[in-house]
């Protein structure tokens, strides 16, 4: 168990486009979901923490108006990158967790390329 599905796996689009990424926990209810970004050869960087039914908590330096997060249910969270620019190109990964002391399970990631 503990399968997390992330879609789409890859997006290539023009500068100025908004891109929505979905993260679903398929076989468990996730009280909390997390969104990470990873640049090549660098470590995972937490962008925001999302609890179902409440506003996301963003890490310092992450623009909440640019990276919109919605956690509508215990199995679905979405990240929308608004008006994306080339510097937003990265590997975006979501994770989900049942309870606070349980491990996070990761989706397969979304590779975003902004031309």
Partner 1 sequence: QKEVEQNSGPLSVPEGAIASLNCTYSDRVSQSFFWYRQYSGKSPELIMSIYSNGDKEDGRFTAQLNKASQYVSLLIRDSQPSDSATYLCAAFSGGGADGLTFGKGTHLIIQP
Nearer to partner 1, 65 or 101 (CB): 101
Euclidean distance between CA atoms 20 and 88, whole angstroms: 13
By CB under 8 A, is residue 49 in contact with partner 1?
yes
Using DSSP bridges, classify how beta strands 105-106 and 32-38 pair: parallel, antiparallel or unpaired.
unpaired
Question: Site map for partner 1, 9-48, x if CB under 8 A?
Answer: -----------------------x-x-------xxx-x--
Burial of 114 (0-12, 13-18, 19+ CB in 10 A): buried
By CB under 8 A, is residue 106 in contact with partner 1?
yes
Are 58 and 50 spatial neighbours (Cβ–Cβ below 8 Å)? no
Nearer to partner 1, 19 or 93 (CB): 93
Nearer to partner 1, 84 or 97 (CB): 97
Q: Total number of residues binding partner 1 (CB under 8 A)? A: 23
By CB under 8 A, is residue 109 in contact with partner 1?
yes
Which residue in the set 21, 74, 84, 93 belongs to the binding site for partner 1 (CB under 8 A)?
93
Edge-to-edge strand list for the sheet holding 76-81: 4-7, 19-25, 76-81, 67-73
């Amino acid at each position: 168990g503990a399968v997390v599905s992330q879609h789409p796996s890859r997006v290539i689009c023009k500068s100025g486009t908004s891109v929505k990424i979905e993260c679903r926990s398929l076989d468990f209810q996730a009280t909390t979901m997390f969104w990470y970004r990873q640049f090549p050869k660098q470590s995972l960087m937490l962008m925001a923490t999302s609890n179902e039914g409440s506003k996301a908590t963003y890490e310092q330096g992450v623009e909440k108006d640019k990276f919109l997060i919605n956690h509508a249910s215990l199995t679905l969270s979405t990240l929308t990158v608004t008006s994306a620019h080339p510097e937003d190109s990265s590997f975006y990964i979501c994770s989900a967790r049942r309870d606070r002391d349980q491990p996070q399970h990761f989706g397969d990631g979304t590779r975003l390329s902004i031309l």
